[in-house]
Amino acid sequence: MRYFIGVDVGGTTTTLAIGNDRREILAVAEQVPTRSEQGPQGVIRAIVEAGVALVGKMGGTIADVVAAGLATPGPASLDGQLHNSPNLKHPDWNGCPIRGRLQEAFRVLNPNLHVRYIGDGQAAALGEFSIRSRKFSWKQIPGSQLPDQVPRSLFMLIVGTGLGGGAVIDGRAVQGARGRAGHGGHVSLPPDAFRYEHDRQLLVGNAYSSAESAISLTALTHQLGYRLGLEQWRGHPLNSAPGSIRDKAKRLRDLAGDGDALANELFDDQARALGIALLDANYIGDYDLLVIGGGVSDLSAAVRGRYLQLVIESYRAHALDGFKDGVSFEFSICGDDAPVIGAVAWAATDAV
């Protein structure tokens, strides 16, 4: 049997998965700390060791691995040369030819193993598409649980610490001319996407009022600190809770599920901004499906339903008449595993 390894390197954790030439996702390994602050060399060594162990659990050896797909935070070149990223905290990451270095390390053990690079947002979109289209099967999501309608194209925004994105058209991930496609978090939003002037004053990259400055954990942290200082919320329990503002922002998801008014206001605002960001993407791509991924996929059922409805309402309120309908909106079915599943699919592209 031939195997394909997927690697998703995040700023905090790294995840590996393995698939085979029958297009089955066999296993997704537990996340391990990336330790990016130690630089690329240690991370690469840990990836190779984890890959060898994972294929061994499947009863194979590294010699049975045809290719590995590598996804990292962007931006990066088509061939996986990284540019400066706030998620990878060591100067050696800037300009690092990560794909080539990982391939060299794997080829010490298997001279024929090829590594293919893809941005993590692009990988997430491809992973979501691969399962939804049944191009790959995964026992975690039986076919009976999949929507009947198979999309031809989709765009996905992943709400996390930042806001990543990626697209698939006609079954292939869109990388762009230089590998930078999908950075939906850096599109600009109109003033009415923000409740307060303060909310617009978060610098992300080199711009204010971007989608990421409204739709991310970073945005929630920025907004929460301001709102807790308003007279309306001075009596809120988070004001007396221990921890940093970021720690408190991480609690908002659970608080929203408990009906907390401030948490729900923040997520309502985020959902409305997300509707505009998805509209911006759809103006360019005209997709069958718009997918919401990341931590908001884990909101309670009631909050998820309200969140999705507000996304759709905001999208349609701002859309040209010709774009109001004809597209579906859904939460990710692959969750946090979408990028690593996409990395497996990318490794297997044109190979099986």
How much is the average pLDDT of 237-251? 97
| 84 pLDDT tier (thresholds 50, 70, 90) | confident
Q: What is the mean pLDDT of residues 51-65?
A: 97
Tell me which residue of 164, 271, 292, 278 sits closest to 214, measured CA to CA. Answer: 271
Tell me how far the alpha carbon of residue 182 is from its chain's centroid: 11
Residue 127 CA to residue 347 CA, distance in Å, equals 12
pLDDT at 313 over 80: yes
Q: What is the pLDDT of residue 99?
A: 98
User: Does the pLDDT of residue 254 top 70, yes or no?
Assistant: yes
* Fold (CATH) for 3-138+337-348: Nucleotidyltransferase; domain 5 (3.30.420)
Domain boundaries for CATH 3.30.420.40 within the chain:
3-138+337-348, 147-332
Q: CB under 8 Å to 53, separation ≥6 — which residues?
A: none
Predicted pLDDT at 311: 98
Residue 352 has pLDDT above 80, yes or no: no
Spatial neighbors of 270 by CB under 8 A, at least 6 apart, are 159, 214, 215, 219, 220, 296, 307
Rounded distance, CA 91 to CA 171, Å?
A: 36
Task: Kindly give the pairing relationship between strand 289-294 and strand 153-159.
Answer: parallel
Please give the Cα distance from 4 to 116 (Å, whole number). Answer: 11
Higher pLDDT, 204 or 85: 204
Tell me the pLDDT tens digit for each residue of 166-207.
Answer: 999 999 999 999 999 999 999 999 999 999 999 999 999 899
Dist. CA 269–CA 5, nearest whole Å: 39
pLDDT value at residue 189: 98
Planar angle of CA 77, 80, 84, nearest 5 degrees:
70
How distant, in Å, are the alpha carbons of 4, 19, 44, 51, 165 from that of 60? 11, 12, 21, 11, 34
Report the alpha-carbon distance of residue 5 to residue 297 in Å, rounded.
25
153-159/163-169 β-pairing: antiparallel
Q: Tell whether domain 147-332 is in CATH 3.30.420.40.
A: yes
Of the candidates 156, 138, 164, the one whose C-alpha atom is nearest the C-alpha of residue 344 is 138
